[in-house]
Structure 1
Amino acid sequence: MKFSVVVPVYGNASTLETLISRLSVVAGRLDGPLEIVFVVDASPDDSLAILRRLLPVAAVPTQLVVHSRNFGSFAAIRTGLMAASGEYIAVMAADLQEPPELMEEFFAALADDTHDVAVGRRVSRADPAMSSAMSRLFWGTYRRLINPDIPPGGVDVFAVSKPAADELLRLHESHSSLIGLLFWIGYDRVEVPYDRLERPDGTSGWTMRKRTRYLLDSVFSFTDIPISLLSTVGVLGAITTVVVAVIVFGTWAMGGINDVGYTPLMLVLLFSTFSLLSGLGVVGSYVWRTYENSKARPWAIPISRERFGGK
């Protein structure tokens, strides 16, 4: 197999037939065989039943992997990368907002052996105004805090050579960022521009809560911002403590404070609440993530894997 397309599936019943049809057309224009690897991440709709009906009669070879429960799209992508057998592997969503024809451009960019990683760069997007604004805010913050090399609109679709995919799969970090890891491994990278299309059906599950959690995971995994922030808080706390200490001491010296023990009590409270508690929160976040990684649990649990040969 020369080419593979990994498609995580969650709530995409209405778009699967069109997706398979369009990828089959793409397969006919490639200079080698293509397979599609569908990973059903415990989808709540009838996506699995639809795929089991469509794949045996599909025009291209396919794989169908099913997770035991919902582990998230990034875990589904990793499962798909492990199952894919192509020399070049692309990853796309099943909602058709990224055109399937883009896979042809990805494979062309990788097949010249100059690049090992191709990422989609959005030129425009047809999302609702609120969703578009939230996405710009999220990815703008991500680029400033995590990695300025990521395209301004973020990365929702990408392709890698088999060696790059293998290196990506060697990283077993929990609560991390797949896109962050994709840029961390290096390799020669190329951006492929495209227009993000309007979602034909349903709504995005990429909520602000999930964005915030993903951003925090990326901050703790790829930067020293929390530790630097803790150091800054410590310095500001020390300065504030000194200033308040001078004020309190001056007030006491002029007879403005008559309560015994008030001055040292104020200083202790200021320093402990402003510095120690914030420090415990940051350190606790690192300890929790270290503990999660020490468990060495798998990213996901596939309970079945089926192959269909194509017509």
Structure 2
Amino acid sequence: MEKLALIVPVYNEQETIEYFIEEVNKKTAQLNLEKVFYFVNDGSHDQTLPLLKKLAAQNEQINYISFSRNFGKEAALLAGLRACTENYVAVMDVDLQDPPELLATMYEKIEEGYDTAGTRRISRKGEPLIISFFSHLFYKIINKISSTPIVEGARDFRLMTRPVVNSILKLEENNRFSKGIFTWVGYKTTYLEYPNHERSAGQTSWTFKQLVSYSLDGIISFSDAPLNFATLIGILSFFTSIFLSLFYFMKSLFFGDPVQGFPTLIILMLLLGGLQLLSLGIIGKYIAKIFLETKKRPHYLIQESNLKELD
């Protein structure tokens, strides 16, 4: 029987793990694939790791990888993808906001000839309005400025074939944005739609600040439009300064009283200074990412695992 690897990042999820395994097994009982769980503990501070150790000792189909600290979900996804060897690989959240019953339909799509069966939410019921608003805004912006289209509402929850996973693993950049990477590698992909699901237990570890930062990382990773914007600001500011210089020179020459335009001059100086700082900030953001890439630091550090090949 073919095997299905389930990559599940976890961070302080002691309340959800056992229920997650139970629900996945129950709702995929008819799926003609042997399930192998890969839990990646992203530096949890609760009893997540001891629980994973206990479950792995009881069931050989449950594996765990534990980081030395919190490296983020992107690092956890990468670690899971690197660790698994199965021909079919699914990425899921442990909070059951990704309905496991869709795995059967996703596998049907793979059998129909698709390389990837992804999912997207068609509603955000139960989510704070401000997060929904900025999420919608993010997708509109990135799809306007990026050559890599990202489906609005797309989740990391997807089922992939081994060639797709191997292609993803060839991308070794440190600044990872999986939603973009999944699209960038290509392959024949379809999306299943479903309404938003509430968490099964606990609370999300994502803050609004983290979501904004993650969105900015996505824009920087898959578009150079902000740099083009900074360049355009510089060009417009240059020509505006020349025009205003000529204007005030002619005004002083023919009408005198140059002091009269002093407030206007201050406003323009502040405006141009602000635009310069904005442009430098955009450029600095890209330089910071380049700096991190050149360090060649590992994406994560594994403290322990029950997978012998990772020891």
1:109 corresponds to 2:109: yes
Residue in structure 2 matched with residue 301 of structure 1 by the alignment: 301
Per the alignment, do residues 33 and 251 of structure 1 end up closer, same or farther by CA in structure 2, a change over 3 Å counting?
A: same
**d(CA) in 2 for partners of 1:50, 1:70:** 18
**d(CA) in 1 for partners of 2:174, 2:157:** 21
Q: Structure 1, residues 240-290: CA drift from partner, whole Å, max 9, x if none? A: 21332133112321221279xx9xx98x96897366544433332222211
* TM-score computed with the length of structure 1 as normaliser: 0.86
In the TM superposition, residue 107 of structure 1 has moved relative to its aligned partner by: 2.3
Residue in structure 2 matched with residue 135 of structure 1 by the alignment: 135
Residue in structure 2 matched with residue 66 of structure 1 by the alignment: 66
Secondary structure at the aligned position of 2:64 is classed as strand
Which one is further off, 70-79 or 209-218? Answer: 209-218
Which one is further off, 148-157 or 201-210? Answer: 148-157
Residue in structure 1 matched with residue 189 of structure 2 by the alignment: 189
Per the alignment, do residues 270 and 249 of structure 1 end up closer, same or farther by CA in structure 2, a change over 3 Å counting?
A: farther
Secondary structure at the aligned position of 1:231 is classed as helix
**d(CA) in 1 for partners of 2:141, 2:270:** 32
Residue in structure 2 matched with residue 200 of structure 1 by the alignment: 200
Q: For structure 2, list consecutive stretches of 5 or more residues without a partner in the other structure.
A: none
**d(CA) in 2 for partners of 1:132, 1:82:** 32
Residue in structure 1 matched with residue 252 of structure 2 by the alignment: 252
Secondary structure at the aligned position of 2:122 is classed as strand
Residue in structure 1 matched with residue 243 of structure 2 by the alignment: 243
Residue in structure 1 matched with residue 84 of structure 2 by the alignment: 84
Verify the 8 A CA contact 2:146 2:225 in the aligned structure 1: no
Residue in structure 2 matched with residue 292 of structure 1 by the alignment: 292
**d(CA) in 2 for partners of 1:196, 1:54:** 29
1:212 corresponds to 2:244: no
Q: Structure 1, residues 154-211: CA drift from partner, whole Å, max 9, x if none? A: 3231221111111111111122311111111111111112232112323222222112
Residue in structure 1 matched with residue 37 of structure 2 by the alignment: 36
**d(CA) in 2 for partners of 1:2, 1:187:** 21
In the TM superposition, residue 92 of structure 1 has moved relative to its aligned partner by: 0.7
Verify the 8 A CA contact 1:27 1:33 in the aligned structure 2: no
Q: Report the AA paired with residue 136 of structure 1.
A: H
Residue in structure 2 matched with residue 16 of structure 1 by the alignment: 17
Secondary structure at the aligned position of 1:198 is classed as coil
Per the alignment, do residues 129 and 50 of structure 1 end up closer, same or farther by CA in structure 2, a change over 3 Å counting?
A: same
Per the alignment, do residues 135 and 276 of structure 1 end up closer, same or farther by CA in structure 2, a change over 3 Å counting?
A: closer
Q: Report the AA paired with residue 213 of structure 1.
A: S
**d(CA) in 1 for partners of 2:155, 2:144:** 15
Per the alignment, do residues 141 and 272 of structure 1 end up closer, same or farther by CA in structure 2, a change over 3 Å counting?
A: closer
Residue in structure 1 matched with residue 118 of structure 2 by the alignment: 119
**d(CA) in 2 for partners of 1:46, 1:103:** 28
In the TM superposition, residue 43 of structure 1 has moved relative to its aligned partner by: 1.2
**d(CA) in 1 for partners of 2:120, 2:69:** 31
1:175 corresponds to 2:159: no
Secondary structure at the aligned position of 1:155 is classed as strand
Q: For structure 1, list consecutive stretches of 5 or more residues without a partner in the other structure.
A: none
**d(CA) in 1 for partners of 2:271, 2:239:** 10
In the TM superposition, residue 144 of structure 1 has moved relative to its aligned partner by: 3.5
**d(CA) in 2 for partners of 1:278, 1:156:** 32
Identity of aligned residues (%): 29
**d(CA) in 2 for partners of 1:134, 1:156:** 18
Verify the 8 A CA contact 1:138 1:211 in the aligned structure 2: no
Which one is further off, 218-227 or 7-16? Answer: 218-227
Verify the 8 A CA contact 2:148 2:222 in the aligned structure 1: no
1:98 corresponds to 2:98: yes
Matched residues, number: 302
Secondary structure at the aligned position of 2:54 is classed as helix
**d(CA) in 2 for partners of 1:56, 1:135:** 40
Verify the 8 A CA contact 1:2 1:34 in the aligned structure 2: yes
Q: Report the AA paired with residue 127 of structure 1.
A: G
